Amino acid sequence: MFFESFKKYETEIAGRPFVVEVGKMAQLAGGSCLVRYGETNVLCTATMAAKPREGVDFFPLSVDYEEKLYSVGRIPGSFQRREGRASEKATLASRVIDRPIRPLFPKDMRNDVGVVATVMSVDPDCQPEIAAQLGVSVAISISEIPWDGPVASSVVGLVDGEYVINPTLEQREKSQMYVTVASTSELVAMIEAGANEVSNDDMLDGIMFAHEQNKKIVEFITKIREECGKEKVDFPSNDPDPEMYEAIKEFAIEDIRAALDTDDKRVRDERLKPIYEAVHEKFDEIYPEMEEKIEDCLYKTQKYVVRRWLLDDGKRVDGRGIDEIRPLNAEIDLLDRVHGSGMFTRGQTQVLTVTTLGPMSDNQMLDGLDEEDSKRYIHHYNFPSYSVGETKPSRGPGRREIGHGALAEKALLPVIPSVEEFPYTIRLVSEVLSSNGSTSQGSVCGSTLSLMAAGVPIKAPVAGISCGLITEGERFMTMVDIQGLEDFFGDMDFKVAGTKKGITAIQMDLKVHGLTPAIIREALDKTYKARCYILDDIMLPVIAEPRKELSKWAPKMLTTKIDPEKIGDVIGKQGKVIQKICAECNCKIDVEEDGSIYVSSTDIDCAKRAIDIIETIANDPEEGAIYKGVVTRLMSFGVFVEIAPGKEGMVHISQLDVKRTEKVEDVVNVGDEIIVKVLPKDDQGRLNFSRREALIEVEGLTPENDVSDSSGRRSSGPRRNFNRDRKPRRNDN
């Protein structure tokens, strides 16, 4: 038999079959399994290096979530027809897998561990990210890798007032929140949430609802591990010798206390330099060739000081109260020609966000595994090395930058106006200028300022804040607005963004195994109070609501909708008609399949002119309306005038001027632009125009004699302003 060790385990999650197959695929990996959730299939593997990596002071874990386009029956669009670098969604999925599993590995292990989740088939109702998270937990659990798991993950939605586990595609479209919750058998290990201004109570209840489901899945994975799991291997600990640590701590602890006791990161770093030099001078000879372990002892001593201050004395490094926020400042309009800018400063954390508005054709195209193929709201986050006083060269956005940009995007998405309300592509770029804790939430605040300054009619302002945690046995304490040291040496970074009405996004990073409901409740309450203060006292006094007008540098966007069958007339053969409109009106035109048309130009009058032309092409000109047209042909009995590509009619010689006309050449020539008024069509349905009536109505000229129109009667109709007729469906911004 090829697969003598093959085993299959089945259960049900949210009414759909969940199957784990072990022993058939990737048998040389440390642990592997194929997970089938509905018709979603994900191969998950976990492998550990035999020896520790030298010269590192961290646990080297890599998590890769690989999207294969064959899983949705598509061929990659690249030149080589291969999958390229990981998409942003794949990177975010990798981060969500990483965060709950990382704290469960031994902190003193330095062996490389590689986790790979390969998506091989996708059922839209059974999201591959969830299957991957569960499959990774199985793969690590049954491997020889030391790990204090398993951990299970579920998504909880809120549909029609009811909580739903792992909502289907249809349910996700209606859900008021999308919250990924990972749990061990007892504690909540990770939260990643996007929500439509959900209350603290609804959010907490949803988290605990998912937690209860996760407990059942943990039991299922535990049974798999008990039946086919390998024996965990021993590893060489990287912790410094306890005797060394105690000696260095005793030597340096008082100096370290004095050095850390400041609210200025630069001062703190300068104070620590001579302490490090003194410690190395004394202990390098005592412990030769152990410089890295001495550095570890100094790090652990700083951690000991900060945690004891917080737990025993209620003292923070910078002297703040436990729930006190650092000094705040908000500004707008810092850059001259951008469409909108806002800067938010919290202590030594400073983020500048710039808003750019573009036509709908600037939407970002997506080539992923789900149903979303484009998006019109894009948020990018940049974290240059100078923001932390370093000199590393920029190599483009890493996973952290992608993750923080996505978090800010998720936080603001519920308040972004619909395309019908605001037909623009919106790009935000958050530039971190200085970093000392929670720049992602600073970017949320700066982005709200920038959007309102740009005139984007957001539904409500959004602010974000972080909450930290220190635990010791059953004891715990939380603190608002953690700075860098409290993040490094603490146990949690609980980021919450939202409006005054409710939560829009959560991201929770932990260094411990998990949280109790009491800790989650306290963190939600403290962050709500803090973000209300930031909104009311800091941000809204700077700009209370979105500006009513866009920047003069922003494109002006108009939209209309035509019969989809008329799209071909608007575009024209080989695109000649629409290209002509764009050239004449100095604008950009985007046409959607449903007949929606978006026209953008920096000159609003040009955009209006283009809309008039498009509507004239798509609709029969309304009797009595005034148009500007071009003379195309001269005849003895009149002239032909084109008011839009493909829309040509005749002006009879009797309707060419307010005075009697003997020869058409005496009044107009081919190529002249003239205004005309639409008369009733003739018996054959052809267009007839009157320049005479247009001159009387628009320019107020008086006719020298009473000349009737070609049909034998004077034309009449509602008064119109030339090129100013706006249809109710149009949205002028």
pLDDT in tens, 90-120: 999 999 999 999 999 999 999 999 999 999 9
Q: If you average pLDDT over each of 1-10, 319-328, 681-690, which comes out highest?
A: 319-328
Q: Are residues 471 and 402 in the same domain?
A: yes
Over range 125-141, report the average pLDDT: 97
Phi and psi angles of residue 654, each rounded to the nearest 5 degrees, phi first? -70, -15
Cβ 40 vs Cβ 104: under 8 Å: no
- Residue 391: CATH number of its domain: 3.30.230.70
The two three-digit tokens of residue 527, written as one number = 């962050």
Share of the chain above pLDDT 90, in %: 70
Over range 166-183, report the average pLDDT: 96
Of 591, 557, 548, 549, the residue nearest 357 (C-alpha)? 557
CA distances for 382 relative to 123, 440, 571, angstroms: 34, 10, 40
Over range 371-375, report the average pLDDT: 78
pLDDT digits (tens, 9 = 90+) for 417-454: 998 899 899 999 999 999 998 899 999 999 999 999 99
Q: Are residues 249 and 150 in the same domain?
A: no
Over range 535-556, report the average pLDDT: 94
Over range 3-11, report the average pLDDT: 87
State residue 365's pLDDT score: 76
State residue 4's pLDDT score: 67
* pLDDT classification of 258: cutoffs 50, 70, 90: very high
Q: Are residues 587 and 654 in the same domain?
A: no
CA distances for 580 relative to 108, 498, 574, 645, angstroms: 68, 46, 11, 9
Q: Are residues 248 and 260 in the same domain?
A: yes
Q: What is the rounded distance in angstroms from the CA atom of residue 569 to the CA atom of residue 571? A: 6
Cβ 597 vs Cβ 588: under 8 Å: no
Q: Are residues 282 and 367 in the same domain?
A: no
Q: Is the pLDDT of residue 713 over 80?
A: no
* pLDDT classification of 3: cutoffs 50, 70, 90: low
Domain limits at 595?
A: 555-619
Residue 715 lies in a domain: yes
Q: How many CB atoms lie within 10 A of CB 723?
A: 15
Q: Are residues 203 and 275 in the same domain?
A: no
Over range 654-679, report the average pLDDT: 91
Phi and psi angles of residue 548, each rounded to the nearest 5 degrees, phi first? -80, -20
Q: Are residues 477 and 360 in the same domain?
A: yes
Number of structural domains in the chain? 5
Cβ 436 vs Cβ 484: under 8 Å: yes
Q: Which residues contact 311 (CB under 8 A, 6 or more apart)?
A: 470, 472, 475, 477
Q: Are residues 209 and 294 in the same domain?
A: no
Residue 190 lies in a domain: no
Share of the chain above pLDDT 70, in %: 95
- Residue 689: CATH number of its domain: 2.40.50.140
Cβ 428 vs Cβ 353: under 8 Å: yes
Over range 194-213, report the average pLDDT: 97
Q: Are residues 12 and 114 in the same domain?
A: yes
Over range 236-242, report the average pLDDT: 90
Residue 485 lies in a domain: yes
Mean per-residue pLDDT of the chain: 90
Residue 184 lies in a domain: no
Q: Are residues 79 and 152 in the same domain?
A: yes
Over range 192-218, report the average pLDDT: 97
State residue 706's pLDDT score: 46
Cβ-count burial of 643 within 10 angstroms (0-12 exposed, 13-18 middle, 19+ buried)? buried
Range with the poorest average pLDDT among 9-13, 143-147, 395-399 = 395-399
State residue 622's pLDDT score: 83
Residue 320 lies in a domain: no
Over range 587-615, report the average pLDDT: 89
Q: Are residues 159 and 268 in the same domain?
A: no
State residue 712's pLDDT score: 36
pLDDT digits (tens, 9 = 90+) for 571-589: 988 898 899 899 988 999 9
* pLDDT classification of 2: cutoffs 50, 70, 90: low
Q: Is the pLDDT of residue 714 over 90?
A: no
Q: Is the pLDDT of residue 302 over 50?
A: yes
State residue 732's pLDDT score: 44
Residue 546 lies in a domain: no
My answer on whether omega of the bond before 150 falls inside 30° of 0, hence cis, is: yes
Of 280, 152, 304, 268, the residue nearest 218 (C-alpha)? 152
Q: Are residues 631 and 611 in the same domain?
A: no
Last residue of a domain, one of 255, 288, 313: 313
Cα torsion angle, 236, 240, 241, 242, sign: negative
Over range 466-492, report the average pLDDT: 91
* pLDDT classification of 731: cutoffs 50, 70, 90: very low
